Amino acid sequence: MTSRALLLDGVGVRLGEVDALRDVDLDLDARTVAVVGENGSGKSTFARLAAGLVTPTAGTARILGLDPVRQAAELRRRVAVVFSNPDAQIVMPTVAEDVAFSLRPDRLGREETRRRVEETLARFGLSELRERSSHELSGGQKQLLALAGAFVRRPELVIADEPTTYLDARNARLVADHLLADTGHRLVLVTHDLALAARCDAAVLFARGRVEAVGRPADVIAEYESALAC
């Protein structure tokens, strides 16, 4: 973790006719960063930018010191993403196969792949379900599987875009605990759950594609709530 996690200078992202992000300046190096804001405020675009899934149409961005335009492949190797809908992330028919699928680009040997998969399944409490059909799991189990598929690659940065949206309180807490646990990764957590945002080290508030506030979660949340009250 030698480079700044997120360094954005005048970044804009235009999606079709819409300016999803405008003139975003950010310099964040906290281990866990919450991203809050209303629907359509640019949070998810920011998350996709940080994951190298969209590229800036203005300004310059460095994620883990990498240029998301010229070093996209390297960025994707070091960054993992967890989306709100786990169904769209599940590719393989069984739990263990789906976790192993994430390791295909790394071309590890069969034994190393098996070891990493078993280790990750155990960490996320999925060992008993390893032969189960991925699409027949409960919502909470599917999201844990999505997390396992992300963490098995041992990413430096995890981007989680509203990962607890479809979960009940118990599973939401379980997923959040896994994401926030310090296992050597950084986290960018897009969320509408302000209690969850408060557990992060730093927070960013987006509104209409711009950064409205950056700082301690308590301060950023207070500003967000005062904006909501208007």
Give the residues lining the site for another protein (CB under 8 A): 48, 51, 53, 73, 76-77, 79-81, 83, 85, 87-89, 91-94, 97, 100-102, 104-106, 131, 133, 135-136, 149-150, 153
Q: Tell me the closest approach of the beta carbon of residue 121 to another protein, in angstroms.
A: 15
Cα 32 from Cα 77, distance rounded (Å): 19
Give the residue with the Cβ less far from another protein, 69 or 73: 73
| Cross-strand partners of 190 | 35, 161
Question: Angle at the Cα of 107 (from 94 to 159), degrees rounded to 5?
Answer: 70
Give the residue with the Cβ less far from another protein, 30 or 100: 100
Give the residue with the Cβ less far from another protein, 65 or 85: 85
C-alpha pair distances (Å), 108 with each of 82, 105, 115, 180: 22, 8, 11, 27
Give the residue with the Cβ less far from another protein, 123 or 216: 123
Q: Tell me the closest approach of the beta carbon of residue 160 to another protein, in angstroms.
A: 11
Length of the chain: 230
Three-state secondary-structure class, residue 169: helix
Q: Tell me the closest approach of the beta carbon of residue 136 to another protein, in angstroms.
A: 7
